[in-house]
Structure 1
Amino acid sequence: MPSQAAPAPDGSTRVRNDQWHLRYLRTQEAQRISQGQGVVVAVPDTGVDTHPDLRNNLLAGADMIPGGNGDGRQDGNSHGTCMAGIIAAHGRGSIGALGIAPQAKILPVYDTPSNGLGEPDDLARSIEYAVRNGADVISVSAAGSPTAAMQQAISAALNADVVIVAAAGNAPRDSGVSYPASVEGVIAVGGVDTNGGHAAVSVTGPELDVVAPAVDIYCPSLNGRYRVSTGTSDATAIVAGAAALVRAKYPDLPASEVVHRLTATAVDKGPPGRDDEYGYGVIDLVAALTADVPPLPPDWATASPPPNNTPATTVAAEPAGGGSDDNSTARGLATLGVIVAAAGGYLLWRRRRDADDPPPRISR
């Protein structure tokens, strides 16, 4: 039966129903357990607009490059606003966009101009700023070069017990898992489509950890409006939101155990155990919050790998139908992946290959 609410010109009435990924991930059930309260998620990106569905959760951040208003709360591209909204939009009652963790706070850091091409060292400074200013999770939707500054920033964030999530990369532009998703200790996020299968836009590779919806993701945009986006950036923002839910539910859990929960409870897809298309499987919000997950052993960093992925105790819901692309935003936007990394690394035993040489600039 169609909704009786009058349609709003900004799309806020219909967008909640268009957010198919919320139903697929059983977000409503998960949010009865945790909504990310008390958790700060840093979003180094193109800035974050003060969208009505997001502004109550938007902290004052910082600008790493000229052109912003000084606190990260300005976006000329819409990519950063979309990512922040996927993570922590609170909506307006039953209308507007809803994020995975609607009580988490967003720390916006402007480090990429509106053309979507930034400098790796600006991203490095963003990560350092996020760590200094209390970020519990860092969500980076970018691919770039492993400069000395970037390597130092990632290492410092991991050592500071911050969860970092990074997008694996988008095909055909990327041929393999990109930096910094390819770094040990960073969760590399790929994507699935509206049917729960491998998303064509998502790269594959031995570095991949988990997957999440990455196709036709509706999210806040500029001037109070909305966009539909496709890419591993979107999947990464979802996983960053999942990390916020877990950190709120288990505030004393170290980052390595947060990551362990997310990977151990993922719903296995493809061949049994970890594979290059799905990693350990599709993120399962409810299982990550409720499953009895044994802790990592004291010598986990050097332990032998388990023969298969730990099975989830719950099963992800079937997709409720994909959101239709109304051409309101660029499906082909150079979005990439958010970073959720775990301090100290995770699953150091897994096999990796050297990443392909990344582009000299970060791209979103």
Structure 2
Amino acid sequence: MNRTPAVAIALLLLSGVAPGHLAKEAPVAPGERIRVDQWHLRFLKADDANAISQGDGVIVAVLDTGVAPHPDLRGNLLTGTSTIPGAPGNGFLDENSHGTGVAGLIAAHGQSNKIGARGIAPEAKILPIKSSDEANTGKPDDLATGIDYAIAHGADIISISSSGGTSAKLVRALRDALSANIVIVAAAGNRPGDAYVGYPAVEPGVIAVGGIDRAGFHAAVSVSGPEIDVVAPAVDIYSTSFGGKYSKGTGTSSATAIVAGAAALIRSKYPDLPAEEVAHRLTATAIDKGPPGRDDQYGYGVIDLVAALTADVPPLGFESTGVTAPASTEARTGNGRDDGTVRGLVTLGVLLAAGGGYLIWRRHRRAGDPPPRISR
């Protein structure tokens, strides 16, 4: 069963336009302007979070259209692979720009304090895995092969930019990654092409990410549903592009990359924290929006980078008690649908995965129980 691409990412290349992607250019100067235009960094207080953690020592696998080398990613890009049959490679070929944008939102470091794009975790490493072609089309089994590669090559977080069909091989690969203590984040999907949260975001153990706009409210482009865990900025999000250029996108793709970066910050500061506890920190410290408690538009709320790194969060299993348990680990100093075509342009997935304990947490939160209160 083929599905329509998860719509609504408006790809806008700056300082150069990729044929077929846009109707017009935006006269935004590269380099100097891009940091100013990255409003989501200020909204999330990324500078404050980066004073605590920058993602050092964490590998984020980006399964997407490939990640092109970019000055703002220099030194952060590992040699990867291509899982597309008949198109071998090291993951650096990106004819679409989507994967390069995802990587930049996670780990771009810019070219100075004020020049170039910056990611949420600027010292994290990106493992590029090309699992979709230039049209953002890939097959579930190619995605599964990419997940297997990420597991074998030490990924701490898996980023998957797809929403669509599944297969037995893909389900098995996702569950293997969860069992391997890998954090997986996936985009919920974008309206109007998607009416419900797509796969793999609906897979138990995967964090499903929705989007908010510049005002912090539910973004019209974002799919809603009972599987939504957290939300992040998803409108007019600037990042890196192929050819050393920059791009602007709207969709849950961007929000998911941002959440993957947040997970990298947590895993860097708390290197021994299990994946399910990383996910738990993100939801327990999220800023509640909409009706009190978890809801279908915001999940548990908007991610709070600083609180996720500093709050006293009771570990899983303490939700129904008044006990505030000690931190789980010592912080590091310094730093069911049918087979079908997988589409990725809009749903930049950075699958945040967890182990068996998180599967219990996921079922628990679907029952409507709020996360434990935390000390900020």
TM-score, reference length from structure 1: 0.84
1:119 and 1:28 mapped to 2: Cα distance?
A: 38
Secondary structure of 2:232's partner? strand
Residue in 2 aligned with 1:128? 148
Identity %: 63
- 1:65-144 aligned at under 5 Å gives the runs 65-66=84-85, 70-93=89-112, 94-144=114-164
SS of the aligned residue for 2:202 comes to coil
- Contact 2:252–2:346 (Cα < 8 Å) also in 1: no
Which amino acid letter does the alignment assign opposite residue 139 of structure 1? S
Structure 1 runs of 4+ with >6 Å offset? none
Q: Is the 8 A contact 2:54 2:124 kept in 1?
A: yes
Aligned-residue Cα RMSD (Å) equals 1.9
Instruction: Please give the alpha-carbon distance, in whole angstroms, between the structure 1 residues aligned to 2:95 and 2:364.
Output: 42
Q: How far, CA to CA, are the matches of 2:347 and 2:232 in structure 1?
A: 15
Asked if the contact 1:79–1:335 (Cα under 8 Å) also holds between the matched residues in 2, the reply is no
1:20 and 2:32 correspond? no
Cα separation, 2, equivalents of 1:342 and 1:169: 21
Greater mean alpha carbon deviation, residues 270-279 or residues 136-145: 136-145
Q: Match of 1:337?
A: 349
Alpha-carbon displacement from aligned partner over 1:267-297 (angstroms, at most 9, x marks no partner)? 0000010000000000000000000001112
2:83 matched residue in structure 1: 64
The whole-number CA distance in structure 1 between the counterparts of 2:298 and 2:124 is 27
Q: 1:207 to 1:306 in 2, by over 3 A?
A: farther
Contact 2:231 2:255 in 1 (8 A): yes
What is the aligned partner in structure 1 of residue 194 from structure 2? 174
Residue 261 of structure 1 aligns to a residue whose secondary structure is helix
Aligned pair count reads 316
2:212, 2:235 within 8 Å by CA — same for their partners in 1? yes
Corresponding residue of 1:30: 49
Counterpart contact for 1:189–1:211, Cα < 8 Å: yes
How much does 1:70 deviate? Answer: 1.5
Tell me which residue corresponds to 1:203. 223
Report the counterpart of residue 48 of structure 1 in structure 2: 67
Pairwise mapping of residues 120-269 of structure 1 onto structure 2 (< 5 A)?
A: 120-269=140-289
Distance 2:148 2:291 in 1: 38
Q: Deviations over 1:71-104 (max 9, x none)?
A: 1011000000000000000101120000000000
Question: Which 5+ residue runs of structure 2 have no aligned equivalent?
Answer: 1-26, 325-343, 368-376
Q: Distance in 2 between matches of 1:71 and 1:146?
A: 25
| TM-score, normalization by structure 2 | 0.81
SS at the partner of 1:209? strand
Superposed displacement of residue 145, structure 1? 1.6
